[in-house]
Chains A and B, each alone.
Chain A
Amino acid sequence: DAGITQSPRHKVTETGTPVTLRCHQTENHRYMYWYRQDPGHGLRLIHYSYGVKDTDKGEVSDGYSVSRSKTEDFLLTLESATSSQTSVYFCAISEPGGTGELFFGEGSRLTVL
């Protein structure tokens, strides 16, 4: 299994509070991604990173920010959580010039009350 660790794995929080999810990889892959998974929508890209301090928006980036200060860590922050951000969040990694495969973490389930 790819060395990807997400934390926390489960979190319950209240509307309006800040939340940070962490993705840590040991594969030294250049690209890192944050997806959210919701019933009826599959997996949708929130943000991605193509290197340290290099990030870009995905299709559902509103309300989220990211940071990558080290190759191995990619943080997803909800500045002020809303109930619509209740979801399962997955981190993924890939390597340029590789097969194109995405390697996923085990997910972080976030509930916003």
Chain B
Amino acid sequence: GENVEQHPSTLSVQEGDSAVIKCTYSDSASNYFPWYKQELGKGPQLIIDIRSNVGEKKDQRIAVTLNKTAKHFSLHITETQPEDSAVYFCAVSMNSGGYQKVTFGIGTKLQVIP
């Protein structure tokens, strides 16, 4: 099955600095790469995603890059703010007859220090 590795498991940055979280995957058939943010006591929520035919996608302060050849993708958060503090999960997904077969990374706990 699919194997997703996520690094680092914890990350502390000063407010205003950038944060980068990296993930690798094993199954070249995977074609959808979402990132989820989980705030304390809540369920994960999608913040950005990228599909296999795209190399980079941006949404304001967050961006995701994908290298399909190397099977890795990364989340970049610029100008970090205290409200960015949360656990971030990368995920790798493929559509299997309508069912989203999703494998998650172990998560990165991001702390933004004011």
Contact = CB atoms under 8 A, between A and B. Distances in A.
Contact of A105 (B32, B43, B95, B105): B43
Interface in A13-59: 30-31, 40-45, 48, 50, 59
Q: Interface extent on A, as a size class?
A: 20 to 34
A107 B87 CA distance: 15
Contacts of B41: 106-107
Contacts of B106: 40-42
B1 A101 contact: no
A63 B33 CA distance: 30
Contacts of B42: 106-107
11 contacts: A31-B99, A42-B4, A42-B89, A42-B104, A42-B107, A43-B104, A50-B98, A90-B43, A99-B49, A104-B43, A107-B42
A94 interface: yes
Nearest to B107: A42
Interface in A71-107: 90, 92, 94, 96-97, 99-102, 104-107
B98 A31 contact: yes
Interface of B: 1, 4, 6, 32, 34, 36, 41-46, 49, 89, 93, 95, 98-100, 102, 104-107
B46 A101 contact: yes
A100 B104 contact: no
Closest 9 CB pairs of A and B: A96-B98, A104-B43, A42-B104, A43-B104, A42-B106, A100-B32, A101-B46, A106-B43, A104-B44
A29 to B, nearest CB: 11
Contacts of A105: 43
Contacts of A42: 4, 6, 89, 104-107
Given A40-B106, A59-B1, A101-B49, A31 B100 contact: yes
Contacts of B102: 45, 102
Nearest to B94: A100
A90 B42 CA distance: 10
Contacts of A30: 98
